[in-house]
Chain A
């Protein structure tokens, strides 16, 4: 098949993006859609049709060069669709990690997830930076080896989802630790109040007896 390498790349990109969109729609803050990837797919479809118009003879004036150029433009739009979706989903996982983790202090987190501070936040920071770099790159289609980056970012998003799931799984221990801390702090407040009262009572007695 002519341009089989490009077609294979287009099919792979579309499936990766669809996979991420399906996940992103379920995890979105208000079950909203982010339309930018769909707009990119819309443009990609138009370029694919232009290629096919040449190849099927509908566009008799079109050249092979034009057909190939349009196929590459379609790829560019599909790359942008993928990276926009990756950005949407990775931002959402980051926000979920913040939402779920922020009600616990560092002691609770350290006890419930011992490798949290050494692994998770530094890795999340790296992932967000990498995705933002790619998203800001306007010449995605002209890069070589970008499909490898797509696979790399798919793995990074899987990692982010994994981190979110680690926090969700540790939720019970985190709650227990939080309650334990709360009990301890109440205990210490009560002891302080009792000691304070005792000192006041003893002070009053001593004052009354000796002064």
Chain B
């Protein structure tokens, strides 16, 4: 822990895609962390859901 200066130029770890599984894991472990209520209650778009919704909306003709 004393070597924190050594990681200054180290890249942050990648979070990876947001999936249903990662949201479920976050919800399961939410009591261990403080942070966003939306994230801890699973109110988050998965990457796949977002892209599907986005494509659907952009391909739906306007009234």
Which positions in A face B, CB cutoff 8 Å? Answer: 25, 29-36, 39, 42-43, 46, 49-50, 53, 58-59, 62, 87-88, 91, 94-95, 97-98, 101-102, 104, 106, 109, 120-121, 124-125, 128, 132
Point out the residue from A32, A35, A101, A125 that lies within 8 Å of B63, measured CB to CB.
A101
Quote the shortest CB–CB distance from A208 to chain B (angstroms): 53
A98 touches B63 (CB 8 A): yes
**Interface size of B by Cβ–Cβ distance < 8 Å?**
22
Pick 24 A–B contacts, CB within 8 A, sort by A: A25-B38, A31-B43, A32-B44, A32-B45, A33-B39, A33-B43, A33-B44, A33-B45, A35-B15, A35-B39, A36-B47, A39-B15, A46-B11, A49-B8, A50-B8, A58-B5, A59-B5, A62-B8, A94-B57, A94-B62, A95-B57, A120-B62, A124-B62, A125-B62
Measured in the bound complex, the distance between the Cα atoms of B63 and A106 in whole Å is 8
A46 touches B12 (CB 8 A): yes
Measured in the bound complex, the distance between the Cα atoms of B61 and A121 in whole Å is 9
B38 touches A32 (CB 8 A): yes
Once A30-B43, A32-B38, A35-B18 are accepted as A-B contacts, the answer to whether A91 and B8 lie under 8 Å apart by CB is no
Measured in the bound complex, the distance between the Cα atoms of B36 and A101 in whole Å is 34
Chain A facing B: main interface SS:
helix
In the A-B complex, the 10 residue pairs with the closest CB atoms: A101-B63, A121-B62, A95-B57, A33-B38, A102-B63, A53-B8, A32-B43, A46-B12, A34-B45, A59-B8
B9 touches A50 (CB 8 A): yes
Once A32-B45, A58-B5 are accepted as A-B contacts, the answer to whether A109 and B12 lie under 8 Å apart by CB is no
Measured in the bound complex, the distance between the Cα atoms of B45 and A53 in whole Å is 34
0/1 interface trace, chain B 37-57, chain A, CB 8 Å (1 if under) = 011000111010010011001
A87 touches B63 (CB 8 A): no
For A30, list chain B residues within 8 Å (CB): 43
Which residue on chain B has the smallest CB distance to residue A122? B62
Which positions in B face A, CB cutoff 8 Å? Answer: 5, 8-9, 11-12, 15, 18, 36, 38-39, 43-45, 47, 50, 53-54, 57-58, 60, 62-63
Point out the residue from B38, B53, B62 that lies within 8 Å of A98, measured CB to CB.
B62
A42 touches B5 (CB 8 A): no
Measured in the bound complex, the distance between the Cα atoms of B63 and A35 in whole Å is 30
B5 touches A35 (CB 8 A): no
